[in-house]
């Protein structure tokens, strides 16, 4: 199967940009017996229900015209939420100074999960400050070892 997310991304990007929004992520996942096509959008100040409906309608039309997905699926257009994923270099750059959560494919400093403040990003490595008991440690995480990264909400 051709990469559905790439095809949908190429269809969604001009629609989202025309509406002065940002395409954050596209997921095509199977949950139980159902397939879900999730498109996450954002804009300055956040998106509302009307924004999601407007993008959903336009994207639905484009998907019906091109029909790139063989199986039945549910289309869901929404905000990425407070724990927005970090996927693109720009996402990491915007997150500098913010609290994030990172999970790696392989251990880094004997751990695979980190939560702390993103101090720096150079395209190859993240530098994150984590708290271990009463101490603060700076840890460098190679980007190619990151399985997933997202903003983390603190209370």
Residues 74 and 21 in one domain: yes
CB 107 within 8 A of CB 97: no
* Helix (H/G/I), strand (E/B), else coil: 86: coil
List the alpha helices (DSSP H) in the chain: 4-18, 49-66, 89-94
Residues 64 and 19 in one domain: yes
* Helix (H/G/I), strand (E/B), else coil: 47: coil
CB 4 within 8 A of CB 37: yes
CA contacts within 13 A on the Cβ side of 55: 31
What average pLDDT does the structure give for the chain? Answer: 93
Residue 2: is it exposed, middle or buried by C-beta count within 10 angstroms (0-12/13-18/19+)?
exposed
How many angstroms separate the first and last alpha carbons of the chain? 43
**Taking the CB of residue 10, how many other CB atoms lie within 10 A of it?**
13
The token pair that represents 134 in the structure block: 């009463």
Domain of 118, CATH number, reads 2.30.30.180
Residues 15 and 65 in one domain: yes
Max CA separation in the chain (angstroms): 58
pLDDT of 82 reads 87
pLDDT of 43 reads 93
Per-residue tens of pLDDT for the chain, all 155 residues:
448 899 999 999 999 999 999 999 999 999 999 999 999 999 988 999 999 999 999 999 999 998 888 899 999 999 998 899 998 999 999 999 999 999 999 999 889 999 999 999 999 999 999 988 889 999 999 999 999 999 998 87
**What pTM was estimated for this model as a whole?**
0.80
Closest to 79 (Cα-Cα) out of 39, 40, 21: 40
User: Would you say residue 11 lies in a domain?
Assistant: yes
Domain of 11, CATH number, reads 3.30.300.70
User: Would you say residue 46 lies in a domain?
Assistant: yes
Q: Which domain holds residue 115?
A: 89-151
CA 6 to chain centre: 14
User: Would you say residue 84 lies in a domain?
Assistant: no
């Amino acid at each position: 199967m051709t990469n559905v997310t790439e095809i949908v991304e190429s269809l969604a990007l001009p629609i989202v940009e025309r509406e002065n929004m940002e395409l954050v992520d596209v997921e095509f996942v199977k949950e139980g017996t159902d397939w879900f096509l999730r498109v996450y959008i954002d804009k300055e100040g956040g998106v509302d229900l009307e924004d999601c409906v407007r993008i959903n309608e336009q994207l639905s039309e484009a998907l019906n015209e091109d029909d790139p997905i063989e199986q039945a699926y549910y289309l869901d257009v929404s905000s990425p939420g407070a724990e927005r994923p970090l996927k693109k270099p720009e996402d990491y750059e915007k997150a500098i100074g913010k609290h994030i959560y990172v999970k790696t494919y392989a251990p880094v400093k004997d751990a695979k999960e980190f939560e702390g403040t993103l101090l720096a990003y150079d395209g190859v490595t993240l530098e994150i400050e984590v708290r271990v008991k009463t101490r603060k440690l700076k840890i460098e995480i190679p980007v190619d070892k990151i399985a997933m990264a997202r903003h983390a909400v603190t209370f």
